[in-house]
Structure 1
Amino acid sequence: MLTVAVTGATGAQGGATARALLAAGHHVRALTRDPGSPAARELAALGAELRRADFDDRDSLDAALTGADSLFAVTTPFGTDIATEVRQGAALIDAAAEARIGHVVLTSAAHADRATGIPHYDSKAAVERHLYGSGLDWTVLGPAAFMDNYADGWTLESLRDGTFAWPMPGDVPLALIPATDIGAFAALALTRSADFTGRRIDIASDTLTAEAMATILTTATATPITHHQVPLDHVRRHSADLAAMFAYFDSPGLDVDTTALHRAHPEIPWTPFATWAASQPWPTLLAPATV
């Protein structure tokens, strides 16, 4: 049994990883800034050990990582900025090195190592480089676009109006993955470190065009859904970073060799988008938003 410290444990990727590790019988040390949050309490009820940790508080990181065998690391610029993401990622890696963590699995983004010019991909690439120079045993995962985002935020708002508003042409394929599959793969890499150490792997569960996704969402929601291409200028007014990402998704594109990946790792569910969509509580999600 491993003792695995999991950052972002109350978020999508960290939470999925923590649950996968707990299901496999490992001891999870869930790192969170707020151990009293509902998401943290849910993990504790499943058997996770809660530890308060803040990327900007090195003492808290040192205390949380001491005695752990492995670390699942996730960083984000959202809610802060890319410079903060790089600084916090480096602080986490330095604390892991000081604690002599045996294996670090870092989740980044698919193609982040290809000089995409997408600001929040480039910040992840900088964190990756810091990990490579740390002396730690490492694995880097590059998840594709998150299916989970289609049931939240402005995409969900558009679905309430019968539109799949997406800033890409309808016929351009996009690699996709749900958080649960990211967590399953991270848990696999953590429990089979000898097979994954020193590898950077882009991961995706499905690849579909926006038109195909709209068709699947029509079936899943039992509501006619049509794709509408949102102009990049509209996205850019809200976020130049996200506009750069969608421009990259259009060309050169976010490709992942899912055939080879799935053949090599049959232990992962590799959830198709249709299966993910069918599992969502659409009547609740599509109910008019309340103020």
Structure 2
Amino acid sequence: MPLFTAVPSTMTTALQLNARYKYQAAQADNTNAPKMTPTKTIAVYGATGAQGGAVARSLLQSTDGFHVRALTRNRSSPKAQQLAHLGAEVIQADGFNQDEMRNALTGAWGFWLNTDHHDPAFPTADGIDDTIYGQTLISLAAELGVKVLIYSTCESSTEHSLGKAIVKGMDQKNKVFRYGASQPGFDAVIGAIPGWYMENFLSPEYAGCFGGFPLQSDAEGYLTFSSPRLGGPGEVPWIDIEDDFGDIIHGLFLDPTSYHGQTVQCFSDTITFEKLTETFAEVTGKKARFVPQAAPSDFPTYGVGALEEIRDIYAFTQHMGGNFFGHPNAIETSKELKKASLKAKGQPDSKLITIREYFGKHFA
């Protein structure tokens, strides 16, 4: 029996969120709702964020008749204006405002959704957390006739580890995905699980939490990557969000029913921490090394929720023999989806980005 069979127990709180919106469907003014078009409209939630932006930009290049509706809280931001310049319909849509969300989802065929449980907005004063928030948006999409939902999710750490290595954020994401899959009316509901961001190597804040690599040298002159091991063979699945993730999601929108009810691993390359630092040294000529920490508890969190979750992920992967996705890394689906999206964009076939190529592009 699935772990999260009691989904309806959350509906009372979800309905409270709807009440908070103060939306009365019978009195709604839909004069500004977007009109139906002959193409398939895809609403991209968080279109100015990392994942949503990559999805929107890839879909905007498609020749398969997709119309991109970019949802953002700030239509005047530079990123929103860039999407408008590329041809997106930019829509003002705050997820806590049901009038705006109803307008944004009306007439949409597809819906890309990513919610952030580390957002300081959660929990709200009236108890709305990321799980309820995601479920409420999915309920609205189902009500408005959206046919394809792709949600950025995770596997259930509780299920895979039999309760021995729990990552709260992973379980929350998985619960939202399962809720979506339980809703009638969708033709396809897909969970997309991104690997570890290559883009984090460009962040000074990220580097500071992992020994300084690849931006800050230590006292011995090394760029040192310091963290616990992943467990098992230690093959970390890395994803280039900008170059690959959007294309992978694009590929799912091209053939959604084939992946209905499934979670899909989305990553570009697999490489251990040891090999990663060796590759960086080869590409850049700089001294780099991996210094393992003895246990997940040695990973510094500084009381920050996102870092505490990374610590818990290390405990989960070590318990799972290195399987970040809960299953062994399987890159073939990402390759196939990338190939399909490039074909839809009329671009030459190209492989997923490797760590070596990423380091060469940004650090060589």
Question: Of 54, 74, 91, which aligns to 1:34?
Answer: 74
TM-superposed deviation, 1:219 = 3.4
- Which residue identity does 1:10 align to in structure 2? T
Counterparts of 1:113-262 in structure 2 under 5 Å?
Answer: 114=160, 117-135=166-184, 136=186, 137-157=188-208, 158=212, 159-162=214-217, 163-169=223-229, 172-179=234-241, 180-229=243-292, 232-238=297-303, 239=305, 240-252=308-320, 253=322, 254=324, 256-261=328-333
Cα offset for 1:214? 0.9
Residues 205-244 of structure 1: CA distance to partner in whole angstroms, max 9, x if unpaired?
A: 2111111111222234442222233563342443432210
Shift of 1:168: 2.3
Mapped to 1, the partners of 2:257 and 2:70 lie a distance apart of 24
Q: What whole-Å deviation, never above 9, does each CA across 1:18-74 have from its counterpart, x for those lacking one?
A: 011001142110001111111111111111111111111111111111011111111
Aligned mate of 1:109, from 129, 132, 154: 154
More off after superposition, 157-166 vs 44-53: 157-166
Q: 1:262 to 1:52 in 2, by over 3 A?
A: closer
Long gaps (5+) in structure 1: 284-291
Greater Cα shift, 239-248 or 262-271 = 262-271
**Matched position secondary structure for 2:245:** helix
Instruction: Quote the Cα distance in structure 2 between the aligned partners of 1:164 and 1:110.
Output: 30
In the alignment, what sits opposite 1:5? 43
Q: Distance in 2 between matches of 1:27 and 1:189?
A: 15
Call closer, same or farther: CA 1:52–1:256 in 2, change over 3 Å.
Answer: farther
Q: 1:221 to 1:27 in 2, by over 3 A?
A: farther
In the superposition, relative to structure 1, how do residues 266 and 78 fare at CA in structure 2: closer, same or farther (>3 Å)? closer
CA distance in 1: counterparts of 2:176 and 2:182, whole angstroms: 10
SS in 2 for 1:250: helix
| Partner amino acid, structure 1, of 2:357 | T
Distance 1:207 1:111, change over 3 A: farther
Q: Look up the equivalent residue of 1:121 and give its one-letter code.
A: M
* Structure 2 SS opposite 1:78: coil
**Aligned with residue 103 of structure 2, among 39, 63, 80:** 63
Tell me which of 31, 44, 53 is aligned to 1:15.
53
- What residue in structure 1 maps to residue 357 of structure 2? 275
The change in CA–CA distance for 1:198 and 1:143 in structure 2 (over 3 A counts) is same
Sort the Cα spacing of 1:185 and 1:256 in 2 relative to 1 into closer, same or farther, 3 A: farther
Could you tell me how far 1:193 is from its partner in structure 2? 2.2
- Distance of aligned partners of 1:31 and 1:272 in 2 relative to their CA distance in 1, 3 Å threshold: same
Q: Which runs of 5+ in 2 are unaligned?
A: 1-38, 218-222, 341-350
One-letter amino acid matched to 2:227:
P
Q: What is the TM-score with the length of structure 1 in the denominator?
A: 0.86
Q: Contact between 1:206 and 1:258, CA under 8 Å: does it hold in 2?
A: no
Q: Distance in 1 between matches of 2:197 and 2:46?
A: 16
What amino acid sits opposite 1:67 in the alignment?
Answer: G
The equivalent residue for 2:142 is 97
- Sequence identity, in percent? 24
Distance (Å, rounded) in 2 between the aligned partners of 1:166 and 1:109: 25
Distance 1:59 1:186 in 2: 27
The range that moved more, 105-114 or 116-125, is 105-114
Q: Does the 8 A contact of 2:229 with 2:314 survive in 1?
A: no
RMSD of Structure 2 on Structure 1 (CA): 2.5
CA–CA distance in 2 between the matches of 1:121 and 1:8?
A: 20
Give the paired residue count.
282
> How much has 1:110 moved relative to structure 2?
5.5
Contact conserved, 1:142 with 1:202, CA < 8 A, in 2?
A: yes
Structure possessing the higher radius of gyration over alpha carbons: 2
Amino acid at match of 1:267: K
**Contact (CA 8 Å) 1:109, 1:144: kept in 2 or not?**
no
Checking the alignment, whether the CA contact within 8 Å between 1:205 and 1:258 is kept in structure 2 is no
